[in-house]
Amino acid sequence: MKTVKYEVTYSENANRLELFVRWLWAIPSYIVLVVLAVIGMIAMLVQWLHILLLGKRHRTLHDICMKYLSYTVKFMSYFYLVTEERNPLMPED
C-alpha cells in the first residue's frame, strides 16, 4: 500500500484581507468541486464495478478519482485556514 503525504508549512503571519479573499475564491472553487464530486463518484462506482467484474483497476478511472480527492484536500486546507497557498481553480494533472 502506498502512503500519502501532505505537507503544510506553518506561518504565524496572517493577512486580514486574505480572509475576505478566501470567501470570494471559495465560490468558484466550490462549484468546480461539486462538478468534480459528481464525476468522481460516477468514476468510483464504475471503478468498483470494473474491479468486481474483471478483477483489476482501470487507469483512467483511477486518475479521475485521484484528481477529485487531490482537489478536495487542497480546497479544504486553503478554505479552513491551514495553508496560505491558494488552490488552483481547475484541477492540475
6-53 pLDDT, tens per residue?
777 777 777 788 888 888 989 999 999 999 999 999 999 999 999 999
Which helix (H) or strand (E) segment holds residue 45: the answer is helix 16-54
Confidence of residue 1 (pLDDT cuts 50, 70, 90): low
The answer to the question of residue 90 being in a domain is no
CB atoms within 10 A of CB 45: 11
Task: Provide the domain limits for residue 22.
Answer: 16-79
The answer to the question of residue 69 being in a domain is yes
The reported pTM is 0.80
- Domain count within the chain: 1
Distance CA 52, CA 7 (A): 34
The answer to the question of residue 46 being in a domain is yes
The answer to the question of residue 31 being in a domain is yes
C-alpha cell at 51: 474491479
